[in-house]
């Protein structure tokens, strides 16, 4: 079932209110425009048929007017020949045609009035369609702006993430460099400690060796005295 049930519904519709309440305004606007376009085609088709009927009616009116003139001429001719009876009959036929002509002319006026209404309705319908298209364009523009803003926001978040990762990677590289430097600085200190420790061991060995020599020398001296 369509959004509108008849032309008057479209012409009296509050496009803004309908779209504001719609769950999907863009889809609703497209459906509204589609139905308006279909209605416009129907209205124009009806107007075209009425125009054709009006033209046919105009031809019939012209034909009646010609017949009325003809009966008038016949009545005149009958009177010129002193045939009042024939003149009366001719005028009687003329009166019948005049009555028929009046009916046709009244119907013609109705058709002209209806065509005027069609013209007004088509103009209003086109204006309503123009409003709906503007709303649809506005909806699409807002949607595009929102999507672009979302993309920018997502890109900004991605840029921040990349910057944070780059910062952490740089920090890791800095720490690695510092550790390497400390290790490099510690290489010389390790060699020095090793050398000092070796000296301490040598000194201890030398001291103990001298003590042993002294003990042996004393022992030999005591033996010689004995």
In angstroms, the CA 87 to CA 100 distance is 20
- Residues 24, 27, 31, 37, CA torsion sign: positive
Burial call 120-132: b when 16+ CB within 10 Å, e when fewer? ebbeebeebbeeb
Of residues 68, 62, 59, 57, the one with CA closest to residue 99: 68
Q: Taking the model in full, what pTM does it have?
A: 0.56
Any residues with CB less than 8 A from the CB of 75 and at least 6 apart, and which?
86, 87, 88, 90, 91, 94
Per-residue model confidence (pLDDT) at position 100:
93
- Residues 24, 29, 30, 35, CA torsion sign: positive
Domain borders along the chain are 7-168
- Joined together, the tokens standing for residue 20 give 């504001």
Per-residue pLDDT of the chain (226 residues; tens, 9 = 90+): 454 456 777 777 777 777 777 788 888 888 888 888 888 888 899 899 999 999 999 999 999 999 999 999 999 999 999 988 999 999 999 999 999 999 999 999 999 999 998 899 889 888 888 888 888 888 888 878 877 777 776 776 766 667 766 676 776 676 667 666 656 555 444 566 666 677 777 777 677 777 777 777 777 777 777 6
């Amino acid at each position: 079932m369509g959004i509108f049930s008849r032309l008057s519904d479209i012409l009296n519709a509050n496009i803004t209110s309908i779209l504001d309440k719609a769950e999907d305004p863009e889809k609703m606007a497209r459906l509204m425009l589609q139905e308006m376009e279909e209605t416009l085609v129907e209205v124009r088709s009806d107007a075209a048929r009425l125009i054709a009927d009006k033209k046919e009616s105009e031809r019939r009116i012209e034909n009646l007017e010609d017949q009325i003139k003809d009966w008038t001429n016949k009545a005149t001719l009958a009177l010129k020949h002193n045939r009042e009876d024939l003149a009366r009959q001719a005028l009687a036929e003329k009166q019948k045609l005049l009555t028929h002509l009046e009916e046709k002319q009244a119907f013609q006026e109705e058709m002209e009035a209806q065509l005027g209404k069609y013209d007004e309705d088509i103009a209003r319908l086109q204006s309503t369609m123009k409003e709906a298209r503007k709303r649809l364009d506005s909806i699409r523009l807002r949607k595009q702006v929102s999507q672009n803003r979302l993309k920018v926001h997502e890109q900004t978040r991605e840029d921040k993430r990349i910057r944070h990762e780059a910062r952490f990677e740089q920090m890791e590289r800095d720490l690695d460099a510092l550790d390497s430097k400390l290790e490099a600085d510690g290489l010389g200190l390790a060699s020095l400690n090793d050398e000092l420790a070796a000296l301490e061991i040598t000194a201890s060995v030398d001291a103990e060796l001298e003590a042993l020599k002294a003990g042996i020398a004393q022992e030999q001296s005591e033996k010689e005295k004995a």
